[in-house]
Amino acid sequence: MRYLITGGAGFLGTALSNRLARQGHKVRVLDDCSAGDPARLQPEVEFIKGDINDKTLLWKLLQDVQCVFHLAARVSVPESILFPRDYNVVNVGGTVTLMEAMRDAKVRRVILVSSGSIYGIQENIPYKESFEVHPGSPYAVSKLAAEHYVRTIGAQSGIEAVCLRVFNAYGPGQRITMANPPIIPNFLKHALTNGSVVIHGDGKQTRDYVYVDDVVNAMVNASSVVGVDQEIINIGSGVETSVLELVRLVRQVTGQKPEEIFNPYKSGGSSRMCADITKAYEKLNYLPLIPLETGLRMTIERDPQFAR
């Protein structure tokens, strides 16, 4: 098949692009390099640096494309609180621009990589796609709006639209940013360098950590299966893990004992998160294959930033 992947030089995008290229597909990537690194893409991948809101460029790139994976987005919850307008421009406006270009180029399917953060604070665990959502940040609002635009314009234009609500993805290639770094690579790096790990609140808050290869499996399946038009599907591990348990596993896989510093400040968001992945199994034949401990070990082994 012939694919366009927006945001294809980012963490998930790179893993997806390289997987599809290895399978022999024609892969075209659009990325503005604000967070992505095209050097990590395989030589077979056609890379174009550009803006997701450039409709003329998108239209050109969509010629002969059969399916689009839309990953281009700004993804920091704290940053979205400071700059909500920027998140609206990229995450919402960019999605609308892409859908207009897809409509004009007559592309048949789009896979939107959305976020489990859309659910917000819920009373029941695990989160089902049927739950009423309560987005608690401009980032979550922007991803929910993107879902609505993808499904609405898709239905009006004959474009098959699938929204994958990905929970806390991790794995090799995930950057440790200066501000608000992702928790898993941050904890691994500090443990391996005899540093300390900062635990907000009591550490009992939970998240659903899903290994990058499992997420890519779901995305690839979503591009080819039938009967998924207009579907919203959770992609996670289906396992609820506390921060304290994550620290224990980090100690176990690194063989180190980083100092634990408890910060009484509790970060925002839900105290518990876990995906119900029943629908993913039914619609995408999706089953996560990599348990968290194994995924942590694979992350250390495969990511140069953790080289000892």
121: left (phi over 0), alpha (psi -120 to 50) or beta: beta
Q: What residues are annotated to the active site?
A: 139
C-alpha 50: how far from chain center? 20
Angle between helices 94-105 and 138-157 (to 10 degrees): 10
> What ranges make up the beta strands (E) of the chain?
2-6, 26-31, 46-49, 67-70, 109-115, 160-166, 168-170, 196-200, 206-207, 209-211, 231-235, 241-242, 259-263
Q: List the Cα angle 15/240/35 in 5-degree steps.
A: 30
CA 71 – CA 16 distance, rounded (Å):
10
How many Cα atoms occupy the beta-carbon half-sphere of 227 within 13 Å? Answer: 6
- Coil, strand or helix: which one is 42? coil
Let me know how many helices (H) and strands (E) the chain has, helices first: 11, 13
Neighbouring residues of 294: CB distance < 8 A, sequence distance ≥ 6: 211
Contacts 24+ apart (CB under 8 A), 303-308: 303/171, 303/172, 303/173, 303/174, 303/185, 305/176, 305/185, 305/189, 306/185, 306/188, 306/189, 306/192, 308/192
Q: Is 276 helix (H, G, I), strand (E, B) or coil?
A: coil
Alpha-carbon distance 170 to 208, whole Å?
10
Torsion angles phi and psi, residue 241, rounded to 5: -125, 130
